[in-house]
Amino acid sequence: MGNVNSKKYVLVLDAGTTSVRAILYNREGKVCSMAQKETMQFYPEPGWVEQDPQEMLSALLGVIMEALTRIRATTDDVAAIGVANQRETTIVWNKNTGEPVYNAIVWQCRRTSDLADELVKKGLEEPIRKKTGLRVDAYFSATKVKWILDNVEGARQAADNGDLLFGTVDTWIVYNLTAGKVHITDYSNASRTMLFNINTLEWDNDILKELDIPMSMLPEVKESSEIYGYLEYEQLGGKDKVPIASVIGDQQASLFGQQCFDEGDAKITYGTGCFILMNTDERIVFSNNGLVTTIAWGIDGKVKYALEGSIFVAGAAIQWLRDSMHLLDDSFDSEYLAMKSTDSGGCYVVPAFTGLGAPHWDQYARGTIVGITRGTTKSHIVRATLEAIAYQVVDVTHAMMEDSGLDLTHIQVDGGASSNDFLMQFQADMLEKIVRRPGDVEATAMGAAYLAGLATGFWTDISEIRALKSEARHFEPSMDKDERNKLYKGWNKAVKYSYSWAKDDDE
Ligand code: ADP
């Protein structure tokens, strides 16, 4: 292997739900090249979502080549490879042939809802939560693995013979990049399977037995920043051995990429939905408000934990204004339209299109608009919709502070809708905290880059990483306290009108 000091880049492979990307970072933490390719999703039945693991790999190989050739680089210029991935998505393959026995079952897939309900009926919700930090749900990998073993012909027998391997997307990628030599995952991804005990840091025998999943299928669980193996992909050429040196789930990757290294640091990603994670350091905090407890990362012999909450509808509400209501031509225009009024005119939009998540947890809630008068304008509705995103974030962060007893010290934002200055200012006002938006909002890939760079000496330590941070803008709270309390009180009233709407009145 060439000397790490002579290497120019860290290569990040970001395997998302709809696309894969390869990004090359230089020593200053700047993006030097990037290539992206969409991957297909299949919907064989309503509510089912699948991907082709082989397509994912060939797309990945394509983007690696493209990102390198764009800047006339080869793998010999690469100090380390880091992987950030969509979480929970489940792949099972035969270790003798390397062939998947079934498509990847994507995190969004609801086919195993009944299996999850059965676990709850058996009274296992609380024991599973204590062990894994998660709410029993089809979303996590556990019931998806069981479904494959129970439904794919010959799978159960092959698993019992020790011929099958399970992995999340990170595991599948590392296994293939190392020509089948390395079968690993990291703590952050393991903590999303609902099979991993986050207290003892081991796969949980009781849950495996309950679901009839053999231990022999499971990957070895490693830190998020260490050398797992070396790239052995002939098509990529190169003389030097390139270490694969980080693996981390996408939301945790963005927490690291946003440099939320300390207790109380939080990041909010404003995409279609919203993901909020708060670092609780080495402390496992179980939530009384329906948040999940997750492993943030493992590095230097230590495991850090986080509380995680998500909002189902965030940017999606702006898409709805654009595509269904035709109030906007572009999501970007929401800012200008919202600023045309000085307030929402007493109007509240509750975008509970598919129910409400933490801390409300009402699957029967539906969207509503309240407080409409003859004076309500398009601008008021647009503004109220943006404000609703911020109010939902406040609900979740309040729950996090209550559960952890921690104050939010540092709030970093990223994701498509974080570019909206009105939304960010309103968010700072409602949280009564400074909201910080970095120059590079691709925090997920950045996190994997930092972790791979740290494992290989490309960057020496966290203080060197801290110096790479670029803040484009921060938003300071400036709203009068009484005004803030009045607005939030209105939201709390409005959100109650959406509760239980889809329930049959006779129930
Ligand atoms: P995802 O990764 O979930 O696909 P992105 O991070 O790309 O999402 O963000 C896209 C979402 O952000 C869309 O729902 C879009 O409506 C919303 N969005 C993008 N730009 C803005 C903006 N300037 N103001 C408000 N919402 C926006």
State if residue 490 touches ligand 1 by the CB under 6 angstroms criterion: no
Can you give the pLDDT at residue 26?
Answer: 95
pLDDT in tens, 336-377: 999 999 999 999 999 998 888 888 888 788 999 999 999 999
**Position 235 pLDDT exceeds 80:** no
In 177-272, beta strands by DSSP E: 184-186, 196-197, 202-203, 220-222, 225-230, 243-249, 265-270
Can you give the pLDDT at residue 399?
Answer: 95
Cα 451 from Cα 203, distance rounded (Å): 24
State if residue 334 touches ligand 1 by the CB under 6 angstroms criterion: yes
Return the percentage of the chain with pLDDT > 90, whole number: 82
**pTM for this prediction:** 0.91
Helix ranges, 432-468 (H): 443-456, 462-466
pLDDT in tens, 122-155: 999 999 999 999 999 888 999 999 999 999 999 9
pLDDT in tens, 269-309: 998 889 999 999 999 999 999 899 999 999 999 999 999 99
Mean pLDDT for the stretch of residues 157-167: 96
Can you give the pLDDT at residue 17?
Answer: 84
Tell how far CA 214 is from the center of its chain. 27
Mean pLDDT for the stretch of residues 429-455: 92
Mean pLDDT for the stretch of residues 306-322: 92
**What are residue 490's DSSP bridge partners?**
none
Can you give the pLDDT at residue 161?
Answer: 95
**Collapsed DSSP state (helix, strand, coil) of residue 224:** coil
Mean pLDDT for the stretch of residues 60-71: 95
Return the residue matching tokens 């939201």: 491
pLDDT interval class at 506 (50, 70, 90): low
**Position 504 pLDDT exceeds 80:** no
Residues 6+ apart with CB under 8 A from 347: 369, 370, 371, 372, 373, 376, 380, 381, 384
Return the residue matching tokens 């919700």: 125
Residues 6+ apart with CB under 8 A from 233: 61, 176, 177, 179
pLDDT interval class at 507 (50, 70, 90): low
pLDDT interval class at 247 (50, 70, 90): very high
Can you give the pLDDT at residue 157?
Answer: 95
Expressed in angstroms, the distance from the first to the final Cα of the chain is 68
pLDDT in tens, 73-130: 999 999 999 999 999 999 999 999 999 999 999 988 889 989 999 999 999 999 999 9
Query: Mean pLDDT highest for which of 4-18, 231-245, 385-399, 460-474?
Result: 385-399
Closest residue to atom 8 of ligand 1, CA basis: 271
Can you give the pLDDT at residue 327?
Answer: 95
Closest residue to atom 21 of ligand 1, CA basis: 417
CB 171 within 8 A of CB 224: no
Q: Provide the mean pLDDT of the chain.
A: 93
List of long-range contacts for 127-130, beta carbons under 8 Å, 24+ apart: 127/206, 128/194, 128/207, 129/286, 130/199, 130/286
Most ligand 1 atoms within 8 A of CB, residue of 36, 87, 270 to mutate: 270
Closest residue to atom 26 of ligand 1, CA basis: 417
* Beta strand 50-51 pairing with 31-38: unpaired
Can you give the pLDDT at residue 2?
Answer: 62
- CA atoms in the 13 A half-sphere facing the CB of 4: 16
Mean pLDDT for the stretch of residues 185-190: 98
Most ligand 1 atoms within 8 A of CB, residue of 269, 272, 330, 422 to mutate: 272
DSSP sequence for 282-298: T-----SSS-EEEEEEE
Can you give the pLDDT at residue 363?
Answer: 79
**Position 1 pLDDT exceeds 60:** no
